[in-house]
Structure 1
């Protein structure tokens, strides 16, 4: 009876190891969680902080209606291109004003701004990051000075950038 008990324990251990290896494989091969961006309301302006590395280049910021499911290309509510100020180059965009950008669309009418905004940026290659914000959520978020609301709660600009693994140019 004793040898059978050891064999059963070894079999159970082997099954646990196999299941653990499978779970690890699925977890490690799945897509990593993308970094979150942040937003806050300052008066009538929404200020967005994109996670960027010092070498990243933001070419264009766009705001679309997240709930627009009637077309393959949702309507662009507002855009800005070619950052000119240090803060815009570090991933901070003041929506509706275009402050810090060479060119931008006019401010949309308040009635044209939907409840859920998809806010994103593109770099010169066309790649970029985006996130969805509910106006009510960011306008009622209790934030300390210098914080932005994210999907992970309040974060500073440094915390938003720290999500990325940046490589120093050499």
Structure 2
């Protein structure tokens, strides 16, 4: 019997968990705010209310995490999660993107094709073939590993609130 090869999604999940474990080892804490401070990540808040068709709770770019407080509050209320826990989970998710930026994950696959290398050079933010959807899978796994296990249901609830995420990935039992 041939052993089953892990899917790209499973490998992305494992990469996110590995990055979280290394982050905890490096900073000695699981608290997202302490990690951000120690890593030199700026955390700012913004009152942007978003768009009716898009739930955007936070962003990461160039060493700065932006937390959209009105959207986090609305999401927390909609899924019956405390606003402080929702904020912690969103910050942890955006910190995952920071860790991927400073220590890019790789799937360990063979050399990218010439066309793919050319496209990667044109599209900023894509790292070593880690597509946006797989980066999100890895970021969700990072959060699930970083935050206490009791928040798995809260993480799932927030993820399903955001229609642009894949609801098939679950972190609670």
Fold equivalence (TM over 0.5): no
How does the TM-score come out when normalised to structure 2? Answer: 0.28
Instruction: Name the one with the larger helix percent.
Output: 2
Larger Rg: 1
How does the TM-score come out when normalised to structure 1? Answer: 0.29
